[in-house]
Amino acid sequence: SQTIHQWPATLVQPVGSPLSLECTVEGTSNPNLYWYRQAAGRGLQLLFYSVGIGQISSEVPQNLSASRPQDRQFILSSKKLLLSDSGFYLCAYTGRGETQYFGPGTRLLVL
């Protein structure tokens, strides 16, 4: 069966510090991968998506970047966090002919 993992589950970071969030998918090959952010009390915003290794599309200009070093690994990064980067970060995947399934998410608080 297919599963999706994210870590860490929660993170508290000071402003200006770097960030690295990881997402891995099991049980499927060549998935499309997505990073979303959900700010408190707001809807999900698509940040990045990837259709293959090394292929990243950015949806909104921001302080974050994404990378896909392996087929089933998706990483969200920042060199210097801002207060506005706080939120609930969700990774999602689709295989062929499927809708999106989400990982458990990472709660990031930037202080």
- Only one residue has tokens 């599963």, namely 3
Integer Cα distance of 38 and 49 in angstroms: 16
Find the shortest distance in angstroms from Cβ 75 to another protein: 17
**Distance of CA 62 to CAs 4, 36, 50, Å?**
25, 13, 17
Q: How far apart are CA 71 and CA 5, in angstroms?
A: 14
Token code pair at residue 87: 């939120």
Indicate which single residue of 17, 55, 63, 84 sits in contact with another protein (rule: CB under 8 A): 55
Using CB under 8 A as the binding rule, whether residue 30 contacts another protein is answered as no
- State yes or no: residue 103 binds another protein (CB under 8 A): yes
- Does residue 27 interact with another protein by CB under 8 A? no
Which residues would be at the binding site for another protein (CB under 8 A)?
32, 34, 42-44, 46, 49-52, 55, 57, 88, 90, 92, 94, 99-105, 107
